[in-house]
Structure 1
């Protein structure tokens, strides 16, 4: 386990959301539906880069992947570990994406943010920004350690999105569920 991860957890456990980084099995479940040929991915809360590494190993070109990590020490580590991937050190609730950096539409947001630990106002703000960025056809892939969905039904209805549990990863500490969310309008078509 990396020292920056442990230090970030000790500074703010609610922000990090887990004592141990995501497992390789969870990373594989998170990226299962990503198509390296057609998808452009924004990863929120990449932490130690387990999912980032899995995306690159799957064949996603580095120029089609952007990372947003709030914790400065983790963002610096990601910059060193993945120098060809754009890493932004910022809070996902204040998502500011420069059009010069992201020169193509984002089709998929992969989030390791501990959504259920985030205040409802900030959670809503993050999700509104994510679905504005994704447009009508994109999708959000989010995991949770809770038995509840990471986005409540009320919040999903307010955002006009629907979620589906895509996987349960028992061999992760703690076990996790992977959810995929899309706009309701794309599910009807």
Structure 2
């Protein structure tokens, strides 16, 4: 399914295979589950990061998944529709403020992203990053992975980079960037 969705829309899907479990663990490692109320995931795809978050989050933590791809959204909805405080939204990441409001959240403590910023149009990237900056709290974190550091300066325009790690055992290998408001 993943390859088919990539072939249909490579600029939006951005990868030919789901992320590895090792990358998922690195993506959620910065999350302090005991101290958060709301986590948002952009582009959950097949749910590799989602499963890792659900395994660790408390029942009261609101978890909002925002997926634009219709097929991925449908599968995610079927899989997680009965999980407490897990909301699967078919929509655009730049509309995060609307979804937070819908689920009675003032801010996101953590936003994890599987979006392919390297292949997204510049205007779409800028719109999403602006929305992230306005919706994470002062102590909030934005965590994303990228296959190259080609867009690092774009991220640094909006955020302060706290930490970068690298996961070799992913196809392709990926950088994990942890950022806060700058």
Q: TM-score, normalised by structure 1?
A: 0.86
**Pairwise mapping of residues 153-164 of structure 1 onto structure 2 (< 5 A)?**
156-157=156-157, 159=158, 161-164=159-162
Q: How big is each residue's C-alpha offset from its partner over 1:60-106, in whole Å with a ceiling of 9 and x where there is no partner?
A: 43752100000011111111111221011012234432523143531
Q: Which secondary structure state, in structure 2, belongs to the residue aligned with residue 78 of structure 1?
A: helix
Structure-1 separation of matches of 2:18 and 2:117: 16
Gaps of 5+ in 1: 185-189
Structure 1 residues 104-113 or 54-63, which shifts more?
54-63
* CA deviation vs aligned residue, 1:153-178 (integer Å, no higher than 9, x gap): 5x523x3x211443210000000010
Contact preservation (8 Å) 1:69, 1:75 = yes
Query: Structure 2 CA distance, aligned partners of 1:47 and 1:100?
Result: 22
Where does residue 66 of structure 2 map in the other structure?
Answer: 68
Q: CA 1:123–1:129 in structure 2 vs 1: closer, same or farther (change >3 Å)?
A: same
Q: Judge which range, 95-104 or 19-28, deviates more.
A: 95-104
- The answer as to 2:39 corresponding to 1:38 is no
Is contact 1:149-1:179 (8 Å) kept? Answer: no
The number of aligned residues is 177
Q: Which residue matches 1:121?
A: 123
Q: What is the match of residue 9 of structure 2?
A: 12
TM-score, structure 2 as length reference: 0.89
Structure 1 residues 22-171: aligned runs within 5 Å: 22-39=19-36, 40-61=38-59, 63-83=61-81, 84=83, 85-95=86-96, 96-97=98-99, 99-146=101-148, 148=149, 150-152=151-153, 156-157=156-157, 159=158, 161-171=159-169
Q: Which runs of 5+ in 2 are unaligned?
A: none
Tell me if the contact between 1:36 and 1:61 (Cα under 8 Å) persists in the aligned partners: no
Counterpart for residue 181 of structure 2 = 183
Which has more strand, going by share of residues?
2
